[in-house]
Amino acid sequence: MDISSIGNTGVAETQTNSSIGQEDLFKILLAQLQYQDPLEPIDNQEFIAQLAQFTELEQTRSLNDKVDQLLLTQSVNQSVTLIGKTIQVQLESATEVGTVIAVAFNDGDPRLTIQTSDNRVISEVNLSQIQIIN
């Protein structure tokens, strides 16, 4: 018996929730054990292989979370080092050159505020809009 043949409740929950946790995985295994055919029980090797797959999935998810945290930290560090530097950015309407005067964070994403040579202030500049750093 494989996971795809478990009752609709466990499968539907995991399909609608894109981020399942370890507890959800154990619920799936428990459901699999509850609904197995007593005349054809789950093979021990197959069951252990499924547990190993669930463990690997959880470790991969944890690794992805740590990589995301690392990338966020790197972008924060990079944006803070830009304060006081002159940058060229590509905006929707034109290319602007200015000095970074502030950094704000919107949902973890750094947003720069720059002041141009004619004292205009442009805010909400993404790191991806930077073309040149002087």
At 74-119, the pLDDT tens digits run: 888 988 999 999 999 999 889 999 999 999 988 878 999 999 999 9
pLDDT value, residue 114: 95
DSSP assigned state of 59: H
Higher pLDDT, 128 or 54: 128
Pair of tokens at residue 46: 């197959």
In tens, the pLDDT along 4-44 reads 433 444 444 444 445 566 677 778 778 877 877 777 777 77
Q: How many CB atoms lie within 10 A of CB 126?
A: 13
Task: For residue 88, give the H/E element and its range.
Answer: strand 86-90
Instruction: Say how many CA atoms lie within 13 Å of 36 toward its Cβ.
Output: 17
C-alpha–C-alpha distance, residues 54 and 50, integer Å: 6
